[in-house]
Amino acid sequence: MTDARTAPYAALLLRLTLGILFLAHAGLKIFVFTPAGTAGFFSSLGLPGWLAYVTIVWEVVGAVALLLGVYARVAALALIPILVGALVTVHFAAGFFFTNPNGGWEFIALWIAGLLALALIGDGPLALKPTSRA
């Protein structure tokens, strides 16, 4: 049975954690690999280089939406395609464990599950623009 007193805070914790993870992931692309370097990596995978810039913006906007609680359910669902792309292009071939060379898919799968859980449970408290409850 769900504890109605604490479940909203679980949603808040999940929303903030996912937002921080995406902000960190975008920051890695911006400050460590650089946008041009990320575009080069995307090109090495057979993807168009410009998709790297779209991905960086998508991650930053999604992270901010999650952190602020602005349409967080929609943002959670909108961020899943980025992770599916990472699974298909890099992580599935590396095997399950994320410690494998090129990183396996266990962490990405958990990240997707967290996004789906947030989309199902809702924004939690302190959301600036809570989505409607179904």
At 24-64, the pLDDT tens digits run 999 999 999 999 999 999 999 999 999 999 999 999 999 99
pLDDT value for 132: 54
pLDDT in tens, 95-127: 999 888 888 899 999 999 999 999 999 999 999
Domain hosting 22: range is: 7-121
Count how many domains the chain has: 1
Residue at 133 is within a domain: no
Q: Which two tokens stand for residue 93?
A: 């071939």
Phi, psi of 99 (to 5 degrees): -80, -5
Residue at 1 is within a domain: no
Residue at 96 is within a domain: yes
For the chain, give the number of residues: 134
Residue at 130 is within a domain: no
Count other Cβ atoms within 10 Å, centred on residue 48.
Answer: 11
Phi, psi of 105 (to 5 degrees): -100, 0
Q: What is residue 92's DSSP assignment?
A: G
9: nearest Cα among 133, 129, 131, 127 = 127
